[in-house]
């Protein structure tokens, strides 16, 4: 995200470069919670930064609901409470896109454990 501040492109140009509208870039600059995991990956690629972490995180997130369903109901519910998200919501985000704010909430919740 620090590269975004140093970027010489205006919002419209950056939007075209990463496949978003200029309005979307403006909104995300003013409200960083609106960024999605795929946006971050496209930004990294645009700025020629490694996307390995995005790819690995995306794979882990897609595997998570499958692994949760293998747990006993009690263990699954306990894990969902720790993550602050239910399995159905994980599946929904995996089908659409992960808001960065939700990833941050999960990370902060797991840090407390």
Query: Does the CA dihedral 85-88-90-95 come out positive or negative?
Result: negative
Among residues 50, 72, 89, the one where a domain terminates is 50
Domain count, the chain: 2
73 and 29 in one domain?
no
Question: Could you read off the pLDDT tens digit of each residue along the chain, which spans 113 residues?
Answer: 667 778 888 899 999 989 999 999 999 988 988 999 999 999 999 999 999 999 999 999 999 999 999 999 999 999 999 999 999 999 999 999 999 999 999 999 988 87
Q: CA angle, 72 as apex, 106 and 95 as ends, to 5°?
A: 45
Q: Which domain holds residue 92?
A: 53-112
């Amino acid at each position: 995200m620090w590269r975004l501040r140093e970027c010489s492109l205006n919002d419209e140009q950056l939007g075209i470069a990463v496949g978003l509208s200029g309005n979307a870039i403006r909104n995300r600059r003013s409200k960083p919670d609106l960024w999605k995991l795929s946006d971050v990956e496209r930004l990294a690629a645009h700025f020629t930064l490694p996307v390995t972490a995005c790819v690995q995180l995306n794979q882990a997130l897609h595997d998570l609901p499958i692994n949760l369903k293998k747990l006993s109901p009690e263990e699954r519910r306990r894990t969902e409470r720790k993550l602050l998200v239910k399995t159905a919501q994980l599946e929904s985000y995996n089908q659409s896109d992960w808001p960065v704010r939700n990833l941050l909430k999960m990370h902060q919740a797991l840090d407390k454990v």
